[in-house]
Amino acid sequence: MPFDRSTLEITLASASPRRRELMGLTGWCFSVCSSPVPEAPRLGEEPKEFATRLALSKANAARDACPDIAVILAADTMVIHNGVILGKPANAAEAFSMLQDLRGLEHDVITAIALLVKDQTSLTALCESRVPMREYEEGEIQVYVEGGSPLDKAGAYGIQDPDFHPVDIENFSDCFANVMGLPLCHLVRAMKQLGYVVLNDVPERCMQFTGYGCTIYPTILRGDL
């Protein structure tokens, strides 16, 4: 029996609460099935290659753990500062140090997404954002770290955190959702390539959710970015 792309059953291979929030904006029904994978880079592996490989590994691990599902979506987000990948801080002291290093400077955030479809189709996409950080005070860092929010985030910060608001939004012009962990317009573009219909106005919903006036989504949806 041919695979029917007119219906959609999607499984998100991620335990991230941010990704679940962002997926909720798409209008697609989804469930969560994540399975851990080794996250060590290979010798000489560039961050973009590393992120793409991890996204595919997460998707394949979810397929093994939750068989007989139509579409699996996985993602991997990396914060890169001065050529170094910043993962989730191991403790409060490391979170404090990361935020000190990022303060007042720019760094890159990349997210690779991987889609696996029941008929064995696979598709990957990559989004990259240049992120300027504001000149926050050390006292602000201390309060933020004591609140615990940085400890489950790559680079020790969340662009969406309203009390600390670490990013210099006035000088930020890339994909906000990418820095949160799931570039929605790249996902929409990929799903359309796979033949799926998008029912919601995802860019509008994303802007309402984040409060960020995105100007690059038409370029992404056209496939030019």
Provide the residue type at 85 as one letter. Answer: I
Among residues 54, 12, 13, 15, the alpha carbon closest in space to that of 37 is found at 54
Helix H or strand E encompassing 132 = strand 122-132
Of 182, 180, 179, give the one whose Cα is nearest residue 32.
Answer: 182
161 is known as an active-site residue: no
Of 64, 68, 76, 152, the catalytic one is 76
DSSP H or E run through 77: strand 71-81
CA–CA separation, 124 and 146 (whole Å): 37
Burial class (CB within 10 angstroms; exposed 0-12, middle 13-18, buried 19+) of 79: buried
Characterize 18-31 residue by residue with b for buried, 16 or more Cβ atoms within 10 angstroms of its Cβ, and e for exposed: bbeebbebbebebe
Q: How far is CA 110 from CA 14, 143, 146, 161, 197, in A?
A: 16, 27, 27, 19, 26
Q: Are 22 and 182 in contact (CB under 8 A)?
A: yes
Give yes or no for a contact between 217 and 185, defined as CB atoms under 8 angstroms apart: yes
Catalytic residue numbers, as ranges: 76
